[in-house]
Amino acid sequence: MIQLDENKLLQLSTTNEMLDEKYGKHGTQQREQFDAKVMAWYYGDILRGRRQKLKITQKQLAEKIGKKQSYIARVEKGETDIQMSSFLRIAHALGIEFTPKYVAML
């Protein structure tokens, strides 16, 4: 069995510490820009995975929603600031449905 050196483990940086060092702490402009890019990539990856699972091309998806193939490519790479309406249109074309959860307001 491998023994871990607890002193060495305590010296390791956490992911958040490394991100803080490279992009600044949460709330800073640079970190907010980084976080936005990460989320754009994440959602694009979800859409790409679903499209590939359905075995349709970017061009076929683009035609379904009235956009160009290059737009779908940019969305899937997280390279464009996608509007919520476009995201929902793409998701719907891929058979991804969102069910709103209603919360009573006092």
pLDDT number for residue 67: 96
pLDDT number for residue 105: 65
Contact status, residue 78 vs residue 41, Cβ threshold 8 Å: yes
DSSP category for residue 4 = P
Query: What are the tens digits of pLDDT across the range 40-97?
Result: 999 999 999 999 999 999 999 999 999 999 999 999 999 998 899 999 999 999 999 8
Contacts for 81 with CB less than 8 Å, ≥ 6 apart: 36, 40
User: Residue 9 to residues 3, 31, 41, 54, 105: CA-CA distances in angstroms?
Assistant: 11, 26, 31, 44, 47
Lowest mean pLDDT among 10-14, 37-41, 42-46: 10-14
Q: Look-up: residue for tokens 């970017």?
A: 58
Whole-model pTM? Answer: 0.76
Radius of gyration in angstroms for the set of CA atoms belonging to the chain, rounded to a whole number: 20
Distance CA 2, CA 16 (A): 27
